[in-house]
A and B are shown apart, each in its own frame.
Chain A
Amino acid sequence: MLISLSDINKVFNQGKHNEFHAIRDISLHIEAGKVTCLKGSSGSGKTTLLSMIGCLSRPTSGRITLENKILSGLPERFLTDIRRHTFGFIFQKFNLLQGLSVLENVMLPAYPLGLNHKDLKASAQKLISHFGLDRVMNNPVEWLSGGESQRVAICRALINDPQILIADEPTANLDTRLSQEFMGLLDELRKTGKTILITSHDPIVFNSPVVDRIVEMQDGQIMES
Chain B
Amino acid sequence: MIEFFRKQAYLIDFTMSSLLRRKGKNFGLLLVYTLIVFMLASVMLFSHSLRKEAGIILQQSPEIIVQRLVAGRHALIPAEYIQKMGRLRGVTSKKGRLWGYFYNPVVKANYTVMAPDHLDLSTTEVIIGAGIARTIGLGIGDYFTMRSNNDTFSFQVKDIIERNSELVTTDLVLISPKAYRVITGIPEGQFTDIVLSVRNPREVRKVAEKLVQKLPDIRPVLREEILRTYDSIFAWRQGIVFVLLIGALLAFVIFAWDKASGLSAEEKREIGILKAVGWESADILHMKFWEGIIISLSAFMLGYLAAYLHVFYSSAVLFESVLKGWATLYPQFKLVPFIDGLQIATLFFFTIFPYVVATIIPIWKASVTDPDAIMR
| Residue numbers in A under 8 Å from B280 (CB-CB) | 76-77, 80, 112
| Residue numbers in B under 8 Å from A100 (CB-CB) | 17-18, 21
Q: Is B80 an interface residue (CB 8 A)?
A: no
Q: Give residues 51-93 of A contacting B (CB, 8 Å).
A: 51, 56-57, 76-77, 80, 83-84, 89, 91-92
Q: Is A147 an interface residue (CB 8 A)?
A: no
Question: In the assembly, what is the distance between CA of A116 and CA of B276, in Å?
Answer: 22
| Residue numbers in A under 8 Å from B18 (CB-CB) | 97, 99-100
Stretch of A103-111, A175-183, A188-196, A214-222 contacting B (4+ beta carbons < 8 Å): A103-111
B118 to chain A, nearest CB (A): 75
A11 to chain B, nearest CB (A): 14
- Given the interface contacts A98-B21, A114-B2, A114-B3, does A108 sit within 8 Å of B370 by beta carbon? no
1/0 contact trace for B359-373 toward A, CB 8 Å? 000000000001110
B33 to chain A, nearest CB (A): 22
| Residue numbers in A under 8 Å from B56 (CB-CB) | none
| Residue numbers in A under 8 Å from B376 (CB-CB) | 47
Question: In the assembly, what is the distance between CA of A37 and CA of B6, in Å?
Answer: 38
Contact B370 A114 (CB under 8 A): no
Most central of A50, A99, A101, A156 by chain B CB within 10 Å: A99
Contact B283 A115 (CB under 8 A): no
Q: Which residue of A lies closest to B368 (CB)?
A: A76
Q: Which residue of B lies closest to A116 (CB)?
A: B6
Contact B7 A99 (CB under 8 A): no
Contact A104 B370 (CB under 8 A): no
- A interface residues, tally (CB under 8 Å): 33
| Residue numbers in A under 8 Å from B319 (CB-CB) | none
1/0 contact trace for B248-289 toward A, CB 8 Å? 000000000000000000100110011011111101000000
The binding surface of chain B is classed by DSSP as: helix
Q: Is B10 an interface residue (CB 8 A)?
A: yes
Contact B7 A112 (CB under 8 A): yes
Q: Give residues 155-169 of A contacting B (CB, 8 Å).
A: 156, 160, 168
B272 to chain A, nearest CB (A): 8
Contact A108 B375 (CB under 8 A): no
Q: Is A14 an interface residue (CB 8 A)?
A: no
Question: In the assembly, what is the distance between CA of A168 and CA of B334, in Å?
Answer: 69
| Residue numbers in B under 8 Å from A56 (CB-CB) | 276, 370-372, 375
Contact B278 A83 (CB under 8 A): yes
Contact A99 B375 (CB under 8 A): no
| Residue numbers in A under 8 Å from B3 (CB-CB) | 113-114
Q: List 10 A-B contacts (CB under 8 A).
A: A56-B371, A56-B372, A76-B280, A76-B281, A77-B280, A89-B277, A98-B21, A99-B18, A111-B11, A160-B278
